[in-house]
Amino acid sequence: MKIVATVRNSFQNHSVSVSTNENSKVINITPKPDGFGSSVNGGELLFAALATCFCNDIYREAGKRNIKIEEAWVAVSGNFGGPGEPASDITYSARVKADAPEAEIAELIRDTDKLAEIHNTLRKGVDVRLEM
């Protein structure tokens, strides 16, 4: 699965698109008030990616177990320091309302945590290379 994210920015214009295997989608994010850059920062998007990954994966894994989820809630938090410093103290919590006993839901959440690809990418650490 090939994923591409593209940001294009000019005065009063901020365009974000993502694609998976050439299936493209646009994400609406406004520019900063001064007209340049994004009103949403990279840390916020990173944490949104973690929350989104877990949310999508919990539905996938619940389906394998014939568990019907009524609602999933995921919150991710952490800290960023100065320019160039990586995030620290990233934690998340998840709550799921489903047609299953609480013990099964807890097991589903724990198992999904082990499978969540974005989480595992950060846990493993990967090289990010600049190509010019």
**Spatial distance between the Cα atoms of 45 and 35, rounded to a whole number of angstroms:** 19
The dihedral formed by the CA atoms of 65, 118, 23 and 39, expressed in degrees to the nearest 10: 130
Residues 12-34 pLDDT 10s: 999 999 999 989 999 999 999 99
**Residue 89, by phi and psi: left (phi above 0), alpha (psi -120 to 50) or beta?**
left
Buried b (16+ CB within 10 A) or exposed e, 57-75: bbeebbeeeebebeebebe
Residues 30-70 pLDDT 10s: 999 999 999 999 999 999 999 999 999 999 999 999 999 99
What is the domain extent for residue 35? 1-40
With beta carbons less than 8 A apart as the criterion, state whether 38 and 32 touch: yes
Mean pLDDT calculated for residue range 91-112: 98
With beta carbons less than 8 A apart as the criterion, state whether 33 and 79 touch: no
Q: Are residues 50 and 35 in the same domain?
A: no
Average pLDDT, the chain: 96
Q: Are residues 93 and 46 in the same domain?
A: yes
DSSP structural state of residue 87: P
* Within a domain: 82: yes
Which pLDDT score, from 0 to 100, does residue 84 have?
Answer: 92
CA separation, residue 56 to residues 10, 28, 91 (Å): 32, 20, 18
Q: Are residues 56 and 108 in the same domain?
A: yes
CA separation, residue 46 to residues 25, 40, 77, 84 (Å): 18, 10, 10, 15
Q: Whole-model pTM above 0.85?
A: yes
* Within a domain: 58: yes
Q: Are residues 12 and 75 in the same domain?
A: no
Q: Are residues 36 and 51 in the same domain?
A: no
DSSP structural state of residue 123: H
Question: Total domain count for the chain?
Answer: 2
